[in-house]
Every structure is written in C-alpha cells, then in structure tokens.
Structure 1
Amino acid sequence: MTDRPDTLDPDLAAVVEAFEASGVPEWHTLDIESARRLEDDLFGADRTTPVAYTRDVAVEGPNGPVSVRAVRPEAAGELPVVVFYHGGLWALGTLDSVEDICRELADRVPAVVLAADYRLAPEHPFPAGLDDCVAAYEWAREHADAFGGDTDRVSVAGTSAGGNLAAGVARRCRDGGLPAPERQALLYPMVDDDFDRPSYRENADGPLLTRDAVEHFWGEYVRSPVDRANPYVAPLRGDASGLAPATVVTAGFDPLRDEGTAYAEALAGAGVAVDHRHYPSMCHGFLSLTDEVAVADGAMADLAADLGGE
C-alpha cells in the first residue's frame, strides 16, 4: 500500500474545487450517450501545445477499420513512437478528447504519438477494445515511418482504462510472438477489480473518479464472470514475467492507487524493469493538468524522459 498525505496539493485542490463547483455529475449516473457527450465537451476543446501536424488514418482491425490519429511534433529527424490509449472507463473518450495530452507527449518526448480510437463498451465489451488496440500497435510497427517514426522504437501508453489496455497489448505481444514494446507506460491504470483495497475506501468519493463509477463500468466492460479473472482484463492476476519494461504512475488520492502499486511490485518481482512513479498529493487524471499544477508538469517531464529512453 502507498500512503497519501492529509490534503491535496494546493494547486490541484484549486482545480478540483472549480470542477466540483461546476456541478458536473458522476459519469455512471448518466446514460452512456450523455456521458460521452459530456466527456467530449469537457476535454475535447483544448489544443494548447503546437505540433507540426495531426493526421487521421484508418487502420485495418479485426472487425473493421480502427481510427488512429497521428501527432507529429515540430522536432526534426526520425523519432520514437508512442501508441496511446485513452482512458474513460472503457466506455468514454474520443480522439478529440485525448488530443491535448497526446500533443504534449509528442512535444516533450519528442515522439510520434498515435492515438487509437478503439471500440467502446457497453456496445463492444471485452475483448473488442483490446483487439483494436493490438491492431493499432501492429500497424505502428509497420507504418509509423510514414510520419517520421522509428518502427523499431515503439512504446505503448495509456491512462486509466487505457493503461489497462496498454498492459494488455504488452501481454499480447509476449504471448503472441509480436515484437515487444520498448516500454509500457501505465498511467494510473485499472488492473484489477478488487474494490476492498484501502485506496478504494480512502478515495471512494474521488476527487475526479469515484469507486461507484469504477465498479459500474467494470460491469459494462466485462460481461462474463469468467472474464474477470482473465489476465487480459485484470493484468494483476496474470504472470508478469517476460513483459516489456514499464513505467507505472500512481496518485495518492486515486481509488486505483493500490492496484497500480501492486502491479508495479508484481512486475518488479517477476524481474521486469519498472519505474514506479508515485505522486502522493495528486488524484486520478492529474497528468492532464500540467498547465495548472506544478507537480503534474514535473510528472509529465519524468514520463517523457522514460518514453524517450533518457
């Protein structure tokens, strides 16, 4: 278990106070289409980091095309590649809502970032989204050079449910004989459905993510009780040996804190090189707040260094 202080970081507390004062309802209390519109309205407008260009391409997936948005920074030369999977509890999120953090990663690493628009639950429960994420990774390994990316240096990254999917892609690579990612960056990832951990009690009401929302959307993503023990759904329950090197980011005020910590420990215990970067005074989603929160800005710099191989 990773401890947390008594109070949020002051910069973050101001952001949370403003967010909560706006009266945004909890995601799980809305019907799915309303929740998706709200998420896109809240996070789909910002484009604060300049880049050379963005391009949308259609990648062949197992059940039709998968949309991928390529973000090329203004840096010159051949760059590493990061395939990015957005969060949103497997049910929310679009390429627009994730573009800002992808622009920032692209600029800071610097890297070509490829964001995958995987199929969402509940219409498409496990394993549909993961299958799309693997397809996007395989495409990057063959075609990222079209955007000046080095197809021999491809990492995966994701926030929250996207961290779960990034971990699943790394596991599929190991088990299916695909080239391993250079790194898996798991940012406050969902990796198990054990809601009895202390972090779920301490942070049941958030901020920015609640236990009730996590429990609800687990039920939307995983329709079979058998699948809940599947390591492609719950990576913490599987053998971690032989997986790609990892960065695991956790936050003290996040319901997901303890499972992320446990996964970092499981990776290390299995001999995987892992950097566990814990930020005690932060909450879920803090890496999207680099403009407002100094600790988040520093955390993004650390993440960029990991993905750039520094």
Structure 2
Amino acid sequence: MALTDQAQALLDMVYRVGAPRFHELTVAQARHSFEKLQFVFGGEPEAVASTLEVPMARPDGSALLARLYRPLEADPAEALPLLIYFHGGGWCVGSVQSHDSLCRQLANRAGCAVLSVDYRLAPEHPFPAAVEDALFAVEWARANAEQLLVDPGRFGLGGDSAGGNLSLVTALMLRDRAAAALRVLCLIYPCTEIESSRPSRALFSSGYFLDRESLVWFFERYLPGGQANDWRASPMKARWLGDLPPMLLVTAECDPLTDDSVAFADRVRAEGGSVEHLSVDGMVHGFVTLGKWFPEASQVVNRIAVHLRQRLTPTVDAA
C-alpha cells in the first residue's frame, strides 16, 4: 500500500509548500486552482481530426455546451461510435477545458468520437442539475446523431470521479426508461456513495491529495439539501444494479473512494452485471488527468482505449 515515487514526490511538493486545499478556498479559487493543476501536469494536447463546440438547445431556450472530438484516423464521412464524457471535479470544479487533453487521447486511441459535456456546476446549480444535464446530453446526442456524424447504436458513457458518478446515474436512468442500450461504461475512480464508512475513507483521509475535508466541501456544495441517500447522488443506493452496460472500472490504490467503487462493482456482479476492474497500485485520486507527471496515466488511457474499441465495434452485441 505504498505510493509510487512520483506520487510521493507530488504529495511532498503540495504539502511542503503549504498549498491551500479545496476546502480552504472559495469556489472561484478552487476552480482556478484545479484548472491550473491540469494545465501544469496534464500534458500537451494531442492533435485530433477536428473539434467542434456543440450547443445542445433545451426546450426552455437555453443551451448545454459540449465539445465534440473526432480522432485523427477517422474518415470525414464515417459515422463513428461515441463516448459521452463527464469531467471530474466534485460537481463543483472542472470543465471541458480541464479535460481537453484526456478527451483528445481517448478519441485518438479508441478511434471513437468523444463528446465532452460542460454540465452545470454547484453551488450555483446544486443537485440534481448535473444529473439532469447528463441525461439530457445523452438523449440530445441520440436525437442528433446524424448531425454529429455518430452511430446512435454505438454509444458509451465515461467519466472520472464526479463524472463517473454521473455516468452511472445516467445509465441507471436510461435503463429504467427502457432507452436504447449503451455499449459500455468507463468509470475512473467514480464516487458511488456520498456517505461511507468503508476502510479506505479513513485510511486515505489525510495526506493523499483528496482529503476528508475536501470531500465534505464538495458534498456540501453539491447536496445542500442533504440528499446523500438519493440514488441519483449515491448510485450504490439504487434498488437494483442489474441490466447495466458492461463496465470498465479504474481505481487508484491510495484513494479514499476506492473501497466504495469496489463494493459497487461487487454488487453489480452479484446482480448479474459485468465489470472489468483495473486497480492501479501506488496512485492517488485524480492521477489520470495528470499525464505529464504520472506515466501510469498514459498506460491507463491505453487500456481504456482497447476496451472501448472492443465494446464499440459494430460486431459487438449491444446487450
């Protein structure tokens, strides 16, 4: 249960200089700090065939914004499979821009289009605004698949941390609506339960990047009404976890959320679902978007890309 040398060096640097943590910042400061972290350690963005800013018009006249990436290898006229991606950041920070490098990598390496969704953030837009946006994005993308030049029969969802939570919740809502089946869920250290007493919450509560106080900071802003037991906030609370798409679950060994994710995967399997679990030794929460610092990030993206290619190919049964 030891951190890698790179992970230890990053934590030593963060704590040595006394950099304020999320719970010590205003929302504006936290957002700036998060974007800066991604810019410094996220790596240079790869070239893709194209990016397109997509305004998804709502019935009330407002628009949910997203960015569509097409991989370098794509034929300009080809209807590609689509991964709809929800960024991490505790539902309060993060953006399409903070995850730009990761989405470019996923598009190129998986050979699929990626639609990165700029869902509304708390505390300005608390729960369930992000959930509503996530579901709307999937339904809008299906209805406008021809315009996006994607195949509506080959959709998957993905996300890291809070974005993994939104992917799970959206998949559950689509299942309950008997919507067209998703092909795959790619979940990177997702938050599966708001309140938890599993060992990793205490074991990695301080000094491992995502401190206990910062978790509380995010939860209080996302859930000001105290809805921790609502399954749309804590998908582990859902009545049934069966009949979900096949999942790839990535966890970091030294992450307070790890045991919750593993417990969720165990329950999915017990209720008839399929989960492939990739546990990354010595890593902390958030490492996948910090590819300039962590070589493990690129390795994980490659594994995700292989999984996406397998699941989104036309020959794979969507069931």
TM-score, normalization: structure 2?
Answer: 0.89
Deviation (angstroms), 1:206: 4.1
Inter-partner Cα distance in structure 2 for 1:253 and 1:199: 8
Q: Return 23-32 or 42-51, whichever deviates more.
A: 42-51
Structure 1 Cα separation of the partners of residues 180 and 17 of structure 2? 45
The one-letter code sitting in structure 1 at the alignment partner of 2:89 is: G
Shift of 1:49: 1.2
Partner residue of 2:315? none
Is 1:51 the counterpart of 2:48? The answer is: yes
Corresponding residue of 1:232: 232
Q: Are the aligned partners of 2:74 and 2:111 in contact in 1 as well (CA < 8 Å)?
A: no
Does the C-alpha gap of structure 1 residues 308 and 23 become closer, same or farther in structure 2, counting only changes over 3 Å?
A: farther
How far apart are 1:142 and its partner, in Å? 2.8
Aligned mates of 2:278, 2:268 — CA distance in 1: 14
Deviation digits for residues 189-227 of structure 1 (CA, Å, limit 9, x no counterpart): 1111234221111111242211111122112111333x3
Aligned to 1:252, the other structure's residue is in SS state strand
Q: Distance in 1 between matches of 2:66 and 2:152?
A: 16
Q: Secondary structure at the match of 1:95?
A: coil
Amino acid at match of 2:51: T
CA shift, 1:164, in A, is 0.5
Q: Give the match for residue 297 of structure 2.
A: 296
**SS class of match (1:228):** coil
**Which residue is 2:29 aligned to?**
34
Report the residue type matching 1:53 in the other structure: S
Residues 105-162 of structure 1, C-alpha deviation per residue, up to 9 Å, x if partnerless?
1111121110101111111111111111111111222334444422211100011011
User: Is the CA contact 2:187–2:247 (under 8 Å) kept in the aligned structure 1?
Assistant: yes
Aligned match of 1:80: 81
Q: In 2, are the aligned partners of 1:206 and 1:255 still within 8 Å (CA)? A: no
- Cα distance change on mapping 1:20 and 1:81 into 2, 3 Å: farther
Moved over 6 A (4+): none
Using the alignment, how far apart are the partners of 2:292 and 2:146 within structure 1?
Answer: 31
1:261 and 1:41 map into 2 onto residues whose CA distance is 30
State the Cα distance separating 1:62 from its structure 2 match: 6.3
Cα displacement (A) at 1:47: 4.1
Which structure 1 segments of 5+ residues have no match?
Answer: none
CA distance in 1, matches of 2:146, 2:98: 25
Report the Cα distance in structure 1 between the residues aligned to 2:29 and 2:296, rounded to whole angstroms.
32
Residues 73, 233 of structure 1: CA spacing in aligned structure 2 closer, same or farther, 3 A cutoff?
Answer: same
Q: Specify whether residues 11 and 175 from structure 1 end up closer, same or farther in structure 2 by C-alpha distance, changes over 3 A only.
A: same
Q: Give the 3 Å change call, closer, same or farther, for CA 294–41 of structure 1 in structure 2.
A: closer
Listed as ranges, the gaps of 5+ residues in structure 2 are 312-319
Distance 2:211 2:29 in 1: 18
Are 1:111 and 2:112 counterparts?
Answer: yes
Aligned residue in 2 for 1:128:
129
Corresponding residue for residue 162 of structure 1: 163
C-alpha spacing 1:303/1:27, structure 2 compared with 1 (3 Å): same
Q: 1:33 corresponds to which letter in structure 2? A: A
Structure 1 residue 18: deviation in Å?
A: 4.0
Among the aligned pairs, what percent are the same residue?
A: 33
Identify the range of structure 1 (53-62 vs 300-309) with the bigger mean alpha-carbon deviation.
53-62
